[in-house]
Every structure is written in structure tokens, then in C-alpha cells.
Amino acid sequence: MISSNDFRNGVTIVLDNNLWTVIEFLHVKPGKGSAFVRTRLKNVKTGATVERTFRAGEKVERATVETRQMQMLYNDADGFHFMDQESFENITIQRELIGDPADFLKDGMAVDVQFHDSLPIGVALPAHVELRIVETDPGFKGDTATNTFKPAKLETGATVQVPLFVNPDDVIRIDTRDRRYIGRVNS
């Protein structure tokens, strides 16, 4: 059991026989009345989000989630194929379960896969990944305007916005949480 006062982003709980992950939480202490916790929860299986309010100190069941580091082998029509780094067991996870971060999965990348009752429920990518640009308009000398961006296609097939001075074949660092360009990597 976990108290609603102990909610943090990423905590997985069981409500109504479904697994939910806390996306956002806010402790509210009104001037009149008792305190409460306002949360936004994401259903692990369906991806649906709901807002729910809990009384301060209310107990809910905490889901037992095991995290294993796995290596992404490849992806095809069946899904993304991962290998456990210790047991060499292979599993396939559908794109819908991974969500938008699947755009940044590269062959050979190490990720954390979360399991509940020995079933995969999610994949956590590193916060930042380094990927090569395969297609974008070339940059020219003097293209240093701030806050001016152009689309660039990455080696994984994802498209992100990059500054004008970035060229094809440059390796860039991307924030996987919000698809934001962070900087070029010296190669």
C-alpha cells in the first residue's frame, strides 16, 4: 500500500483492477477543509489518461513493477524486439505500448523495460539520445538566427525540429521526453 502523500511521477498503482502510472500530481491544502492530492493518471494498458483526486493520506495499492535492462535488437511489422542483457531471453513489444519515444529507438540501444506479473508494461528510454541526421536542408555560413528551426529526419525515421546551422550527417542530441533538440555532438 502507498499513501497518496507519497505519490511521485512514474509511480504505478492499482485502481479498479487496472494499472495506472502517475503522470502529474499536486498536493493541495485549501484554507478551509482538508488537504487532497490532485493527480493525472495514465492507464498502462490502454494509454488513456484520467484526472483523479485523492484525500490526503488515502491508501491505494502500489503495483509491483520489476525493471530489467534490455537491448533493442530490431523492429519489424511484429513490433520491437528486445533481449534481456542477463538471461538473453527475447521479447517483442508493440509500438502502442512504448508510445512516442519509440521514434528514438535505435538497434543496439539499452533501455529499461518495466514488467508487472512477468508481462511488459512499458519501456523507459534514456532522457537524451544521440542520433545522426539523414535528411535536412543544408546549413549555410551565417545561418545563426536564434529560435529559427527546420525539420530534420533522423536515422530512426523520426522527424524533429533543428536550428538552421545543422547539416545532414551531423550527430545531434535529442531529449526523448519532449522531442527537443539539445545540441550537436562533436564527432
* pLDDT digits 0-9 by tens, 34-47: 999 999 998 887 77
Q: Worst-scoring range by mean pLDDT, 4-8, 46-50, 90-94, 132-136? A: 46-50
Cα(144)–Cα(171) distance, rounded to whole angstroms?
18
Residue 88, C-alpha cell as written in the block: 538473453
User: Starting at the edge strand that comes first in sequence, how are the strands of the sheet with 2-3 ordered?
Assistant: 2-3, 59-62, 12-15, 18-28, 36-43, 49-55
Q: What integer pLDDT is reported at residue 146 of this predicted model?
A: 66
pLDDT score recorded for residue 116: 86
- Domains assigned to the chain: 2-62 (2.30.30.30), 66-124 (2.40.50.140), 128-184 (2.40.50.140)
Helix, strand or coil, per DSSP, at residue 174: strand
Q: What percent of the chain has pLDDT over 70?
A: 95
Written as one string, the DSSP assignment of 38-85 is: EEEEEETTT--EEEEEEETT-EEEEP--EEEEEEEEEEETTEEEEEET
**Model confidence over 157-173: pLDDT tens digits?**
899 998 888 888 999 99
In this prediction, residue 53 carries a pLDDT of 93
Q: What is the DSSP string of the chain?
A: -EEGGG--TT-EEEETTEEEEEEEEEEE--SSS--EEEEEEEETTT--EEEEEEETT-EEEEP--EEEEEEEEEEETTEEEEEETTT--EEEE-HHHH-GGGGG--TT-EEEEEEETTEEEEEE--SEEEEEEEE-PPP-TT---TT-EEEEEETTS-EEEEETT--TT-EEEEETTTTEEEEE---
pLDDT of amino acid 55: 92
Q: Is a pLDDT exceeding 60 seen at residue 174?
A: yes
CA dihedral for 107, 108, 114, 120, sign (positive or negative): positive
CA distance 82 to 88: 9
- Residue 60 confidence class, pLDDT cut points 50, 70, 90: very high
Q: Does 111 score more than 80 pLDDT?
A: yes
